[in-house]
Structure 1
Amino acid sequence: MPDAFFQKKRKRAPSAGGGGADVRSASSPRAGPSSSRRHTATLSAHKRANRKRHDDDNDSPDNDDEGLDTMDLQHRYDQGPDSEDEAERAETAAEARVRLARQYLDGLRAADHPDDDGADAAAADRDNIAARLQKDVAELSGKMHTFVANRLVAPTGADRVLLGVRGHRLSVTAAVASSDATSLFTAGKEGSIIRWRLTDGKMVRVLPKRAKRLDQDGRPLPPTKSHRSKTSGAARRRERMTKAKGKARATDGPHGGAEGGGGEGEVEGGDGDETSRGATVGGYLDVGEGEGHTDEIWALAVSGDGKYLASGGKDRRIGIWSLGDDDEARHAGGAERWLKALGGHKDSISALSFRPSSSELYTASFDRTLKLFDVSQLSYIETLFGHQESILSMSCLRAETAVSAGGRDRTCRFWKIRDESQLVFRAGAKSRLREVLEGGDLARLEERERDDEEQQRRRGVKESEVRAKAAELVEGSVDCVAMVDDAHFLSGGDSGSISLWDLAKKKPVFSVAAAHGFHDVVSETEGKIQTPRWITSLACLPYGDVFASGSWSSEIRVWALDSRLRSFSALFRIPAIGFINSLQLVQPPPSSLSIDAETGRKTSGIILPALWKRRDGLSSSSSSLVPVDDEEGDSETIEDPEEQEGEGERGMVRGSKESVPPFLVAAIGQEPKFGRWFKIKEAKNGALVVPFAFEA
């Protein structure tokens, strides 16, 4: 018997009455309408009942439900075909992109020229919009897009403004400013952090070193009278406060008195008294058990949103401080508190850096590793390995990349966090040993060097430049790095050279040897020996064409990068005696643009030099300057910079990113950051703030 699966199925013959009717319905013993007709009639009855119930619910005043039944899903034929709703529904994806592009261009045109019209304004709009679009593309692609070098005014003569703050007993190792240019943070080797107002240079708060004596509740106790220093900054503040209160009682009666002793002074590492601690300007923050640092602080970093401050140093842990959860608290400068200590490093912390517009924190250490933390969650993310020696410097920008300097391993490593890879760049000068290992002949190399020096002398090249060329062949370490954009960075080392690197090339694109000159050392056996001054710090304007370098040559040098990033040249010098332990170039917000009515020069209206005590560097005496009224200076509330303008001479206007000149922040000390093998006695420990200006 054949299988039923392979048998042909017979087709049913259609009924004679109609194509769609079922045969079984015709042969049904019951008379009447078919089942499909009965089902249609039932659905119609349900719809009429639902519609009636829906009308009754709409007529009732207590109906507040707005669900799918109450939505008007019918098409309105009275709407024109050109209405906005119909156009948005009918447009394609390409037409939507065109419409959004037109809206974007209209916004740019309204922002640049809100009141201009006519043919000239239209031509200017086309030029400005084209430049703006090119700049936006460069900004999104991570390329250099801020060009301010050719407009900077050299701070010389009457135009020189060197604002200084001094409050640390030992060398200042780090100085950073917040992104909104309202606060300045400095750290010293005594283990304390000081917060300053950038508007007038007043001390806001001291985050001290962990105290040695604590009470039962874990609060720090003031030192006993026998152990109190009589010459420290805290002692001088106590004396000033006592004199001020005595003078007030003598003039105002028994109920008069001054409140707080604001102003500048040196910080005694972790020691303070009850009168200087609290909510007054220059007051100490209570640091309890397990909080704060116990040794030297070497690095500081402020998050882009201004909520967090990170600090690290010789105690091998990263301190996270909260600066306030809202803008008002951060502006008042009274919301600092200790959050947590992040661990994981096995040696001293040498560098810290927040990724802009993010809470990700990069840390570098002498244990030859980099670590990545999420400060908003106070959690650890990743560890990066690769360096063979202690990491001395690190820099990062918006992209998930970072560059680090490996010290004595003479390498710069470019880290790609997302790809989990790294690029290695062999920094340092090319030595004779490397030349031989790469296939060269040592005898021919020495002969070629002698011939090159002789030719340079015949051409009239200065002897110092000849020595600089010879010094370039001395290998050393890479001490500092700074990123220019997402594809270029700068490096400096103990050979005194500054190099510009491109990620697409193994060797430096451009280098300057002995950028800060030579140091003369007299030896008993070899006589006078000249060694190049090593580069102690580098800082570049983020995605800009200006960078600064520091050493211990009694000056800070400012350089201009080529627009194609092929070379750089010197712009001007800023006097600064001591070791430049850290540098930072800050771009103030566009809303802080100020134009001088007399000269027409553009400056940042946030920093007001007339309110600072030291306006000619750290060595200037505050007694020779016009003092600020103490009654206004001791107030903790920071007034709006727009309200502190100089009697109408300066006007705050809205500007673009490139229209506001940057300012420079430098940490200066008598000793280098990582050691005490050299000391410049005539230097002053403090921080220097140099506001730049643009030509009219």
Structure 2
Amino acid sequence: MSFFIRKNVTKRKKPPVRVNNNNIKKKKTRNHVDDEISSESSESEHDEHFSSESDSERQLTAAEKKVQLAKKYLSEIEEEERRRLEDDNEEQVNKSVLKRLKDDVLEQKGKLKIKVADGLSFPTDIFELRSKKHTKAITCLVISPNDKFAYSASKDATLVQWDLQEFKAKNVLIHNRKKPQDNQTHHNCPILSLAVSENYLVSGDNSGLIIVRNPITLDYIGKLTGHKGCVTGLTICNETQQLFSCSKDKSLKVWNLVDLCYVETLFGHQTEVTSIDMLQKDRVISAGGMENIIRVWKIQEETQLIFNGVGGSIDTVKKIDNAHFITGGDNGILSIWGSLKKKPFCNVNNAHGVSSNNGEPNWISAVGALANSDLVVSGSYDGTIKFWRCSNNFKTLLPLFNVSIQGFVNSLVFTNDGSKLIVAIGNEHRYGRWHSVTGVKNSLHVIKLNFIKN
């Protein structure tokens, strides 16, 4: 059974009725002839199309095209490593490029594992980034692929672009209640989700509206509509330039960012979908909230895998590598999963302790993972951020240390180079207002990570 619904699916045409009456004029078969294309006309159009191409393009074989792409990819990596090292030493650059290529191969196979957790020491440098425009709780956070910018959004429909090199707000977009005409290219209700790539910054709000922007200038590119509930999660596939969104309307949707169009809808969740992440090129993971189920969607195969939790609501999910992911929820259980096993590899009960007010487990409101490593983090509504080490082939989670910040931890994101952890703090939970922490400033906290080199 397929759970993928595509738009504009053409119906299968009935075969034409064969008529043997020779008295019928040929004019009556005109519609039938127009609908069909003969092989001769197809071949002539085909030849005419290819005659416009250059001889060099026509002579390239599939293998030669692969070689061209490989050379282009190699030159891009070499240039990136040269800039990163800030050195023209060819031997050093070649070593760095070779390591990048090996890591890329291992990552594609889901076998890249970087052990850094043992060398992590307690952070001493924590910077607070605050904007007066965030008058309500910050709900979501993303970091640009080059680690230059961070983007945060809040319940007051404010979007802030932060410069992570100068540690200050660079651009701010707000909802202007006095001038409705200024809001035609911006949200007018709480923004709950963000996603960013090299070419696009995407935001989703409480009404189901998705807006696409330029990630550097924040210029409006377009909007996507179709969800019937608030957009709770967004993620972008860099290889295909496709956007995946999840919503409280119990569905996931696939969008084409290049053409700004809808592709298909993924059905299967029976309750509100609370979180989403990209596992690998053709696989997406989503959390089903009170359904207590994680679903892995195989996009090309149009199938899905179901992973059963251990009770409560699964509110947040984050990729660790191509084969593992981490989840947390209102039952206080932190879980590590593998894509080949339907039950968690590891469960940590009461991962953030028990509330002194009601004796219930403290709610895990956010999780994060340093990509392809053994380092993960979790955050709670009491402001505690816990660092964990994955060991025993992801079958054990060992606590490292805690960092306390007052307020709700609504998002945890590592920079791509692994040097910093960015924390989004709000005075209330990103989805509701059932509990508010007084005296909390809505802000970002930048935790500088110190790794001891062996």
> What TM-score do the two structures reach when normalised by structure 1?
0.50
In structure 2, what is the equivalent of residue 160 of structure 1? 125
The 3 A distance-change label for structure 1 pair 354 and 129 is: closer
Counterpart of 1:196 (choices 157, 162, 177) is 162
In structure 2, what is the equivalent of residue 486 of structure 1? 322
The 3 A distance-change label for structure 1 pair 543 and 213 is: same
Contact 1:135-1:145 at 8 Å conserved across structures: no
Contact 1:404-1:412 at 8 Å conserved across structures: yes
Counterpart of 2:340 (choices 495, 504, 517) is 504
**CA shift digits 1:524-566 (9 cap, x unpaired):** xxxxx30001111111122222111111222211112226222
Counterpart of 1:666 (choices 414, 417, 423) is 423
Distance, in Å, in 1 between the alignment partners of 2:191 and 2:128 is 23
Is 1:578 aligned with 2:407? Answer: yes
Is 1:182 aligned with 2:145? Answer: no
Q: CA deviation at 1:136?
A: 4.4
Task: Say which SS state the counterpart of residue 355 (structure 2) adopts.
Answer: strand
The 3 A distance-change label for structure 1 pair 302 and 116 is: closer
Q: CA deviation at 1:129?
A: 11
In structure 1, what is the equivalent of residue 138 of structure 2? 172
Residues 225-240 of structure 1 mapped to structure 2, 5 A cutoff:
none
Structure 1 residues 548-557 or 418-427, which shifts more?
548-557
Is 1:680 aligned with 2:429? Answer: no
Distance, in Å, in 2 between the alignment partners of 1:672 and 1:192 is 16
Residues 541-690 of structure 1 mapped to structure 2, 5 A cutoff:
541-562=370-391, 564-588=393-417, 661-690=418-447
The 3 A distance-change label for structure 1 pair 336 and 503 is: closer
Counterpart of 1:206 (choices 172, 180, 204) is 172
Q: Which amino acid aligns with 1:161?
A: I
Distance, in Å, in 2 between the alignment partners of 1:297 and 1:210 is 15
Task: Say which SS state the counterpart of residue 530 (structure 1) adopts.
Answer: coil
Is 1:149 aligned with 2:149? Answer: no
Counterpart of 1:296 (choices 186, 190, 198) is 190
**CA shift digits 1:404-455 (9 cap, x unpaired):** 1101111010111111111001112xxxxxxxxxxxxxxxxxxxxxxxxxxx
Distance, in Å, in 1 between the alignment partners of 2:282 and 2:190 is 30
Residues 196-595 of structure 1 mapped to structure 2, 5 A cutoff:
196-214=162-180, 218=181, 287-288=182-183, 290-303=184-197, 305=198, 307-323=199-215, 330=216, 335-428=217-310, 475-521=311-357, 529-562=358-391, 564-588=393-417
> What TM-score do the two structures reach when normalised by structure 2?
0.76
Q: Which amino acid aligns with 1:351?
A: G
4+ aligned runs moved over 6 Å, structure 1 = 110-117, 128-133
The 3 A distance-change label for structure 1 pair 140 and 519 is: same
Contact 1:210-1:293 at 8 Å conserved across structures: no
The 3 A distance-change label for structure 1 pair 181 and 407 is: same
Distance, in Å, in 2 between the alignment partners of 1:693 and 1:676 is 36
Q: CA deviation at 1:358?
A: 4.5
The 3 A distance-change label for structure 1 pair 507 and 211 is: same
Q: CA deviation at 1:294?
A: 1.3
Distance, in Å, in 2 between the alignment partners of 1:132 and 1:170 is 42
Contact 2:294-2:308 at 8 Å conserved across structures: yes
Distance, in Å, in 1 between the alignment partners of 2:290 and 2:407 is 24
Contact 1:355-1:397 at 8 Å conserved across structures: no
Task: Say which SS state the counterpart of residue 450 (structure 2) adopts.
Answer: coil
Contact 1:356-1:398 at 8 Å conserved across structures: no
Contact 1:520-1:530 at 8 Å conserved across structures: yes
Task: Say which SS state the counterpart of residue 403 (structure 1) adopts.
Answer: strand
How many residues align? The count is 376
Contact 1:357-1:398 at 8 Å conserved across structures: no
Q: CA deviation at 1:691?
A: 2.1
The 3 A distance-change label for structure 1 pair 675 and 129 is: closer
The 3 A distance-change label for structure 1 pair 116 and 129 is: closer
Query: Structure 2: which 5+ runs fail to align?
Result: 1-53, 56-62
Task: Say which SS state the counterpart of residue 162 (structure 1) adopts.
Answer: strand
In structure 2, what is the equivalent of residue 138 of structure 1? 106
The 3 A distance-change label for structure 1 pair 672 and 534 is: same
Q: Which amino acid aligns with 1:206?
A: V
The 3 A distance-change label for structure 1 pair 498 and 322 is: same
Query: Structure 1: which 5+ runs fail to align?
Result: 1-66, 69-92, 219-286, 324-329, 429-474, 522-528, 589-660
Residues 16-35 of structure 1 mapped to structure 2, 5 A cutoff:
none
Distance, in Å, in 1 between the alignment partners of 2:332 and 2:439 is 23
Distance, in Å, in 2 between the alignment partners of 1:302 and 1:136 is 21
Structure showing greater radius of gyration is 1
Q: CA deviation at 1:116?
A: 11
Q: Higher helix fraction: Structure 1 or Structure 2?
A: 1
Q: CA deviation at 1:142?
A: 2.8
Distance, in Å, in 1 between the alignment partners of 2:403 and 2:374 is 18
Q: CA deviation at 1:114?
A: 9.3
